[in-house]
Structure 1
Amino acid sequence: MLLQDLITILNRDLEKLYSEIDGFTEEANLWKTTGNITNPAGNLCLHLCGNLNRYIGAKLGNSGYVRDRPAEFSRKDVPKTELLKQVEQTREMVANTLQQLQPTSLEQEYPEQVLGKPMTTGFFLIHLTAHLSYHLGQINYLRRVLE
Protein backbone atom coordinates (compact mmCIF):
# COMPACT_ATOMS: atom_id res chain seq x y z
CA MET A 1 0.00 0.00 0.00
CA LEU A 2 2.77 2.48 0.89
CA LEU A 3 4.46 1.94 -2.46
CA GLN A 4 1.30 2.81 -4.40
CA ASP A 5 0.75 5.83 -2.14
CA LEU A 6 4.27 7.07 -2.88
CA ILE A 7 3.74 6.60 -6.62
CA THR A 8 0.48 8.57 -6.40
CA ILE A 9 1.99 11.45 -4.41
CA LEU A 10 5.15 11.71 -6.52
CA ASN A 11 3.07 11.67 -9.70
CA ARG A 12 0.74 14.35 -8.31
CA ASP A 13 3.61 16.59 -7.26
CA LEU A 14 5.50 16.16 -10.54
CA GLU A 15 2.33 17.10 -12.41
CA LYS A 16 2.13 20.16 -10.15
CA LEU A 17 5.79 20.96 -10.88
CA TYR A 18 4.93 20.86 -14.58
CA SER A 19 2.00 23.24 -14.10
CA GLU A 20 4.03 25.61 -11.89
CA ILE A 21 6.83 25.87 -14.47
CA ASP A 22 4.29 26.18 -17.27
CA GLY A 23 2.53 28.90 -15.26
CA PHE A 24 5.43 31.32 -15.65
CA THR A 25 4.10 33.69 -18.30
CA GLU A 26 7.41 35.55 -18.54
CA GLU A 27 10.04 32.93 -19.31
CA ALA A 28 12.80 35.20 -17.97
CA ASN A 29 11.19 35.00 -14.52
CA LEU A 30 12.17 31.34 -14.32
CA TRP A 31 15.73 32.59 -13.81
CA LYS A 32 15.08 35.44 -11.37
CA THR A 33 15.01 35.58 -7.60
CA THR A 34 13.90 38.16 -5.10
CA GLY A 35 14.98 39.23 -1.64
CA ASN A 36 17.30 36.73 0.03
CA ILE A 37 16.21 33.85 -2.21
CA THR A 38 19.22 32.44 -4.03
CA ASN A 39 17.82 29.72 -6.31
CA PRO A 40 15.52 30.61 -9.20
CA ALA A 41 12.61 28.36 -10.15
CA GLY A 42 14.42 27.10 -13.26
CA ASN A 43 17.36 25.84 -11.21
CA LEU A 44 15.06 24.29 -8.61
CA CYS A 45 13.30 22.46 -11.43
CA LEU A 46 16.60 21.17 -12.82
CA HIS A 47 17.62 20.16 -9.30
CA LEU A 48 14.43 18.20 -8.67
CA CYS A 49 14.70 16.35 -11.98
CA GLY A 50 18.37 15.56 -11.36
CA ASN A 51 17.67 14.41 -7.81
CA LEU A 52 14.87 12.02 -8.77
CA ASN A 53 16.70 10.70 -11.83
CA ARG A 54 19.73 9.93 -9.68
CA TYR A 55 18.08 8.42 -6.62
CA ILE A 56 15.12 6.67 -8.23
CA GLY A 57 16.14 6.23 -11.88
CA ALA A 58 19.81 5.35 -11.54
CA LYS A 59 19.85 3.74 -8.09
CA LEU A 60 16.55 1.82 -8.11
CA GLY A 61 15.94 1.48 -11.85
CA ASN A 62 19.50 1.10 -13.13
CA SER A 63 18.79 3.74 -15.78
CA GLY A 64 22.43 4.73 -16.20
CA TYR A 65 21.61 8.37 -15.45
CA VAL A 66 24.70 10.39 -14.51
CA ARG A 67 23.95 13.42 -12.40
CA ASP A 68 25.70 16.78 -12.71
CA ARG A 69 24.48 18.43 -9.51
CA PRO A 70 26.58 21.62 -9.86
CA ALA A 71 25.02 22.24 -13.30
CA GLU A 72 21.55 21.99 -11.77
CA PHE A 73 22.33 25.27 -9.98
CA SER A 74 24.68 26.93 -12.49
CA ARG A 75 22.79 26.48 -15.75
CA LYS A 76 20.72 29.49 -16.75
CA ASP A 77 18.21 30.35 -19.43
CA VAL A 78 17.21 26.78 -20.21
CA PRO A 79 14.08 27.17 -22.37
CA LYS A 80 10.81 26.55 -20.58
CA THR A 81 9.96 23.88 -23.15
CA GLU A 82 13.12 21.98 -22.17
CA LEU A 83 12.31 22.25 -18.46
CA LEU A 84 8.79 20.94 -19.10
CA LYS A 85 10.19 18.07 -21.17
CA GLN A 86 12.56 17.13 -18.33
CA VAL A 87 9.73 17.21 -15.80
CA GLU A 88 7.55 14.97 -17.95
CA GLN A 89 10.39 12.51 -18.59
CA THR A 90 11.15 12.46 -14.87
CA ARG A 91 7.50 11.85 -14.01
CA GLU A 92 7.35 8.90 -16.42
CA MET A 93 10.65 7.49 -15.12
CA VAL A 94 9.51 7.70 -11.49
CA ALA A 95 6.22 5.96 -12.23
CA ASN A 96 7.81 3.23 -14.35
CA THR A 97 10.65 2.58 -11.92
CA LEU A 98 8.52 2.46 -8.79
CA GLN A 99 5.89 0.26 -10.44
CA GLN A 100 8.63 -2.31 -11.04
CA LEU A 101 9.48 -2.49 -7.33
CA GLN A 102 8.02 -5.07 -5.03
CA PRO A 103 6.39 -3.70 -1.86
CA THR A 104 8.88 -5.73 0.20
CA SER A 105 11.75 -3.75 -1.35
CA LEU A 106 10.70 -0.77 0.77
CA GLU A 107 12.01 -2.63 3.83
CA GLN A 108 15.37 -3.33 2.22
CA GLU A 109 18.37 -1.06 2.75
CA TYR A 110 18.67 1.70 0.13
CA PRO A 111 21.78 1.00 -2.02
CA GLU A 112 23.60 4.21 -1.01
CA GLN A 113 24.10 6.03 2.28
CA VAL A 114 22.89 9.41 1.03
CA LEU A 115 22.04 10.90 4.43
CA GLY A 116 25.16 9.62 6.16
CA LYS A 117 23.68 6.44 7.58
CA PRO A 118 21.92 3.30 6.39
CA MET A 119 18.18 3.65 5.75
CA THR A 120 15.43 1.63 4.16
CA THR A 121 14.32 2.31 0.61
CA GLY A 122 10.89 3.22 1.96
CA PHE A 123 12.37 5.82 4.31
CA PHE A 124 14.44 7.36 1.53
CA LEU A 125 11.48 7.48 -0.88
CA ILE A 126 9.52 9.36 1.79
CA HIS A 127 12.49 11.73 2.12
CA LEU A 128 12.56 12.28 -1.67
CA THR A 129 8.82 12.99 -1.65
CA ALA A 130 9.25 15.61 1.08
CA HIS A 131 12.22 17.14 -0.78
CA LEU A 132 10.12 17.49 -3.92
CA SER A 133 7.28 19.08 -1.97
CA TYR A 134 9.64 21.53 -0.24
CA HIS A 135 11.10 22.86 -3.49
CA LEU A 136 7.71 22.80 -5.21
CA GLY A 137 6.46 25.25 -2.58
CA GLN A 138 9.46 27.49 -3.20
CA ILE A 139 8.75 27.49 -6.94
CA ASN A 140 5.10 28.34 -6.30
CA TYR A 141 6.01 31.32 -4.14
CA LEU A 142 8.62 32.54 -6.65
CA ARG A 143 6.08 32.37 -9.48
CA ARG A 144 3.49 34.31 -7.50
CA VAL A 145 5.96 36.95 -6.28
CA LEU A 146 7.66 37.48 -9.63
CA GLU A 147 4.53 37.45 -11.73
Structure 2
Amino acid sequence: MLIQTLLSLFERDLNKLIAEINLYKKEENIWRTEKNISNSAGNLALHLIGNLNTYIGKEIGKTTYVRNRELEFSQKNIARQELIEKLNDTISVVKKSLATLTSEDLNSEYPILVFAEKTTTEYLLVHLSTHLAYHLGQVNYHRRLIEE
Protein backbone atom coordinates (compact mmCIF):
# COMPACT_ATOMS: atom_id res chain seq x y z
CA MET A 1 0.00 0.00 0.00
CA LEU A 2 2.74 2.49 0.94
CA ILE A 3 4.65 1.71 -2.24
CA GLN A 4 1.62 2.64 -4.36
CA THR A 5 1.08 5.80 -2.30
CA LEU A 6 4.70 6.87 -2.73
CA LEU A 7 4.59 6.13 -6.44
CA SER A 8 1.46 8.24 -6.77
CA LEU A 9 3.05 11.15 -4.85
CA PHE A 10 6.32 11.08 -6.80
CA GLU A 11 4.48 10.97 -10.12
CA ARG A 12 2.05 13.71 -9.07
CA ASP A 13 4.75 16.08 -7.83
CA LEU A 14 7.14 15.49 -10.74
CA ASN A 15 4.27 16.23 -13.11
CA LYS A 16 3.51 19.38 -11.10
CA LEU A 17 7.17 20.36 -11.47
CA ILE A 18 6.88 19.92 -15.24
CA ALA A 19 3.75 22.09 -15.19
CA GLU A 20 5.60 24.77 -13.20
CA ILE A 21 8.48 24.77 -15.69
CA ASN A 22 5.97 25.12 -18.52
CA LEU A 23 4.28 28.08 -16.79
CA TYR A 24 7.35 30.30 -17.13
CA LYS A 25 6.43 32.90 -19.75
CA LYS A 26 10.06 33.51 -20.62
CA GLU A 27 12.25 30.43 -20.86
CA GLU A 28 15.33 32.31 -19.66
CA ASN A 29 13.56 33.06 -16.37
CA ILE A 30 13.78 29.38 -15.47
CA TRP A 31 17.49 30.03 -14.84
CA ARG A 32 17.24 33.50 -13.32
CA THR A 33 18.27 34.37 -9.78
CA GLU A 34 17.90 37.65 -7.96
CA LYS A 35 18.98 39.19 -4.69
CA ASN A 36 18.71 36.49 -2.01
CA ILE A 37 17.43 33.77 -4.36
CA SER A 38 20.47 31.59 -4.86
CA ASN A 39 18.89 28.69 -6.78
CA SER A 40 16.97 29.01 -10.02
CA ALA A 41 14.01 26.80 -10.86
CA GLY A 42 16.18 25.06 -13.45
CA ASN A 43 18.85 24.23 -10.90
CA LEU A 44 16.27 23.00 -8.40
CA ALA A 45 14.83 20.75 -11.13
CA LEU A 46 18.30 19.40 -11.96
CA HIS A 47 18.90 18.80 -8.25
CA LEU A 48 15.68 16.78 -7.97
CA ILE A 49 16.54 14.81 -11.10
CA GLY A 50 19.95 13.96 -9.65
CA ASN A 51 18.56 13.19 -6.21
CA LEU A 52 15.82 10.82 -7.38
CA ASN A 53 17.95 9.11 -10.02
CA THR A 54 20.60 8.46 -7.38
CA TYR A 55 18.59 7.35 -4.37
CA ILE A 56 15.74 5.61 -6.18
CA GLY A 57 17.09 4.81 -9.65
CA LYS A 58 20.62 3.73 -8.84
CA GLU A 59 20.19 2.29 -5.37
CA ILE A 60 16.75 0.68 -5.70
CA GLY A 61 16.32 0.25 -9.46
CA LYS A 62 19.98 -0.69 -10.02
CA THR A 63 20.47 1.79 -12.89
CA THR A 64 23.94 2.96 -13.88
CA TYR A 65 23.19 6.62 -13.09
CA VAL A 66 26.22 8.66 -12.02
CA ARG A 67 25.44 11.81 -10.09
CA ASN A 68 27.34 15.07 -10.41
CA ARG A 69 25.77 17.10 -7.60
CA GLU A 70 27.95 20.14 -8.24
CA LEU A 71 26.60 20.43 -11.80
CA GLU A 72 23.03 20.35 -10.50
CA PHE A 73 23.63 23.82 -9.09
CA SER A 74 26.17 25.23 -11.57
CA GLN A 75 24.81 24.14 -14.95
CA LYS A 76 22.69 26.80 -16.65
CA ASN A 77 20.50 27.48 -19.65
CA ILE A 78 19.39 23.98 -20.54
CA ALA A 79 16.45 24.28 -22.93
CA ARG A 80 13.04 23.97 -21.29
CA GLN A 81 12.16 20.95 -23.45
CA GLU A 82 15.36 19.11 -22.50
CA LEU A 83 14.69 19.78 -18.81
CA ILE A 84 11.16 18.41 -19.21
CA GLU A 85 12.49 15.32 -20.99
CA LYS A 86 14.87 14.72 -18.08
CA LEU A 87 11.94 15.05 -15.66
CA ASN A 88 9.84 12.61 -17.71
CA ASP A 89 12.76 10.17 -17.75
CA THR A 90 12.98 10.53 -13.97
CA ILE A 91 9.28 9.68 -13.63
CA SER A 92 9.91 6.49 -15.63
CA VAL A 93 12.92 5.56 -13.49
CA VAL A 94 11.01 6.14 -10.25
CA LYS A 95 8.05 4.07 -11.46
CA LYS A 96 10.21 1.17 -12.63
CA SER A 97 12.33 1.22 -9.49
CA LEU A 98 9.46 1.39 -7.02
CA ALA A 99 7.69 -1.42 -8.89
CA THR A 100 10.53 -3.75 -7.83
CA LEU A 101 9.95 -3.16 -4.11
CA THR A 102 8.13 -5.43 -1.69
CA SER A 103 6.79 -4.60 1.76
CA GLU A 104 9.79 -6.44 3.19
CA ASP A 105 12.12 -4.20 1.17
CA LEU A 106 10.55 -1.12 2.76
CA ASN A 107 11.40 -2.40 6.23
CA SER A 108 14.97 -3.31 5.31
CA GLU A 109 17.96 -1.04 5.82
CA TYR A 110 18.54 1.36 2.93
CA PRO A 111 21.73 0.19 1.14
CA ILE A 112 23.82 3.34 1.64
CA LEU A 113 24.33 5.82 4.44
CA VAL A 114 22.53 9.07 3.56
CA PHE A 115 22.13 10.68 6.97
CA ALA A 116 24.14 10.45 10.19
CA GLU A 117 22.54 7.09 10.95
CA LYS A 118 21.25 4.22 8.82
CA THR A 119 17.56 4.30 7.93
CA THR A 120 15.01 1.96 6.44
CA THR A 121 14.17 2.17 2.78
CA GLU A 122 10.68 3.28 3.80
CA TYR A 123 12.07 6.21 5.80
CA LEU A 124 14.31 7.33 2.97
CA LEU A 125 11.49 7.15 0.39
CA VAL A 126 9.19 9.24 2.59
CA HIS A 127 12.05 11.72 3.05
CA LEU A 128 12.60 11.89 -0.74
CA SER A 129 8.92 12.58 -1.29
CA THR A 130 8.93 15.46 1.19
CA HIS A 131 12.21 16.75 -0.29
CA LEU A 132 10.57 16.83 -3.73
CA ALA A 133 7.52 18.66 -2.35
CA TYR A 134 9.75 21.22 -0.59
CA HIS A 135 11.64 22.10 -3.76
CA LEU A 136 8.44 22.06 -5.83
CA GLY A 137 7.12 24.80 -3.53
CA GLN A 138 10.33 26.76 -4.03
CA VAL A 139 9.97 26.53 -7.82
CA ASN A 140 6.37 27.74 -7.62
CA TYR A 141 7.42 30.68 -5.47
CA HIS A 142 10.41 31.42 -7.72
CA ARG A 143 8.18 31.56 -10.80
CA ARG A 144 5.68 33.91 -9.19
CA LEU A 145 8.39 36.13 -7.76
CA ILE A 146 10.50 36.36 -10.92
CA GLU A 147 7.68 36.75 -13.42
CA GLU A 148 5.03 38.77 -11.60
**How many correspondences in the alignment?**
147
Pairwise CA distance, 1:34? 2.8
TM-score by structure 2 length?
A: 0.97
* Identity of matched residues, %: 47
Mapping for residues 1-147 of structure 1, pairs under 5 Å: 1-147=1-147
2:5 is aligned with what amino acid? Answer: D
User: 4+ runs of 1 displaced by more than 4 Å?
Assistant: none
Gaps of 5+ in 1: none
Distance 1:34 1:99 in 2: 40
TM-score by structure 1 length?
A: 0.98
Pairwise CA distance, 1:35? 3.2
SS of match in other structure, 2:57: helix
Deviations 1:9-65 (A, max 9, x none): 111001101101111120110111233110000000000000000000000011010
1:103 is aligned with what amino acid? Answer: S
Distance 1:56 1:144 in 2: 30
Query: RMSD of aligned C-alpha atoms?
Result: 0.8
